[in-house]
Structure 1
């Protein structure tokens, strides 16, 4: 990958890391779930989901 920063390699490296890190994390997640499947929970054991996604205290 060529970045045209020339005399400022640090900002170029920061941009390169910011643009490539999400892809690397996705790859690691895919590899992790390919080797070991998530353990299913029994009915009623998992987190309770609310369709509204809001939590009111009143």
Structure 2
């Protein structure tokens, strides 16, 4: 079963893809760049969360 953090991160990335790839209209140049930055930031966030949870779980189970 997926954790709520994984599902939230995945849904946020999926919601940002249309904004990131359809930013060629007038006034949308900044939105596309911002969406790309948010998508790029969610990947390390998810990785750090997974490492932290596993580390804490190992300490608490001993």
* Structure richer in helix, relative to its length: 2
TM-score by length of 1: 0.46
Q: Which has the higher contact order (CA 8 A, sep 6+)?
A: 2
Larger Rg: 1
Calculate the TM-score normalised by the size of structure 2: 0.43
